[in-house]
Amino acid sequence: MRDLLSIRDLTADEILTIIQRARWLKERRQKRESHRPLEGRTLGLIFEKASTRTRVSFEVGMFELGGMTVLLQGGGSQLGRGEPIRDTARVLGSYCDGLVIRTFGQDRAEELARYCERPVINGLTDHEHPCQVLADLMTVAEEYGDVRAVRYAWVGDGNNMAHSWIHAAAVLGLDLLLACPYGYDPDPRVLALAERDGRGRVAVVRVPAEAVRGRQVISTDVWASMGEEAEQKARERAFRGFCLDEALLAEAARDGIVLHCLPAHRGEEISEGALEGPQSRVWRQAENRLHAQKAVLEILLLMGAR
């Protein structure tokens, strides 16, 4: 692994190592033990979309590991005035030890990685959100021990989060059932790759209760992702019946948990009761972004060292 642009950049062993390392880092942090392997290193953050968790967890994570960050936001940099990503990549790669990018097209993150001599991490594109799914898997590991011993459901849009989950299922061999309204399926190429690999079991159904029934890990996400705000009303109509609420959750396994990457829209894709109820692990999941990313930073930045 040189870059983390997709969950597919990781092997199953690497994912399990990141989870294990993240749990170790979490424990050390809880004991307030200092651990600064990235002293003197710098992480560049390019954010062309809004963020709360991703930005802050990378900034805090890098600080705790002994390094520092530099933030470039679309509007405040020459990227916002049209400087090509490949030019930015070469320059930032000569200053920083690694980059995180949150942007629209996956091709933009890929171009950055192609031209940057340092590791590039996808902090969310329209196509994938690998760092989030690593934190989600860590949360599952904390709950059940073995991430491969439970069954997964996705309720909602076949979006970037769904894609990263499908890739994770294919790499780790997970059983994942997705319920998506007609017209909002995951990218067929992502599904085809999972089918080709044949390790996991991935399928799309139309009825949320069918996807959730008897399963442990129930995930959802907003109906309109960043960049799709104009489709909000049409999506509200299309996703009617896809709210993860207490009635739907009652179909899940009795020891099932609810995950949501946040931000959440209460009363749309998730009910207040499901988000705040006893089966929710959403706040722990959000905290785990910090630990999982610190594990990724340690591995990538030390491996990509000069």
Q: How many residues bind ligand CP (CB under 6 A)?
A: 8
Q: Which amino acid is at 273?
A: G
Q: Give yes or no: 289 in active site.
A: yes
- Contact positions with ligand NVA (CB under 6 A) in 161-190: 161
Are the C-beta atoms of residues 171 and 7 closer than 8 Å to each other?
A: yes
Q: What does 52 interact with, of ligand CP, ligand NVA, none (CB < 5 to 8 A by kind)?
A: ligand CP
Among this protein's residues, is 237 annotated catalytic? no
Site string for ligand CP, 208-227 (x = CB under 6 A): --------------------
Preceding amide of 263 cis, omega within 30: yes
Phi, psi of 115 (to 5 degrees): -100, -5
Interface with ligand NVA (CB under 6 A), residue from 226, 238, 253, 302 = 226
**Which segment (27-35, 46-54, 230-238, 276-284) binds ligand CP by CB under 6 A?**
46-54
> Alpha-carbon distance 227 to 210, whole Å?
30
CA distances from 23 to 75, 138, 142, 147, 288 (A): 36, 7, 8, 14, 9
The residue annotated as part of the active site, out of 55, 221, 285, 291, is: 221
Residue 164 contacts ligand CP per CB under 6 A: no
Nearest residue relative to ligand NVA (C-beta): 225
Gap between the terminal Cα atoms of the chain: 16
Question: In this structure, are residues 54 and 79 in contact, taking their beta carbons and an 8 Å threshold?
Answer: no
Q: Which helix (H) or strand (E) holds 175?
A: strand 175-179
Assess 222 for contact with ligand NVA (CB under 6 A): yes
Q: Which of 21, 55, 127, 129 is catalytic?
A: 129
Cα–Cα distance between 133 and 167 in angstroms, integer?
A: 10
227: exposed, middle or buried (Cβ count in 10 Å: 0-12, 13-18, 19+): exposed
Binding mask 253-272 for ligand CP (x = CB under 6 A): --------xx----------
- The number of residues that bind ligand NVA (CB under 6 A) is 9
Is residue 154 within 8 Å of residue 178, measured between CB atoms? yes
Q: Which of residues 124-163 bind ligand CP (CB under 6 A)?
A: 124, 132
- Known catalytic residue: 29? no
- Stretch 84-113: interaction string toward ligand CP, x if CB under 6 A: ------------------------------
Can you give the binding site for ligand CP, defined by CB under 6 A?
51-54, 124, 132, 261-262
* Site residues (vs ligand NVA, CB under 6 A): 124, 159-161, 221-222, 225-226, 261
* Residues carrying an active site annotation: 102, 129, 132, 221, 261, 289
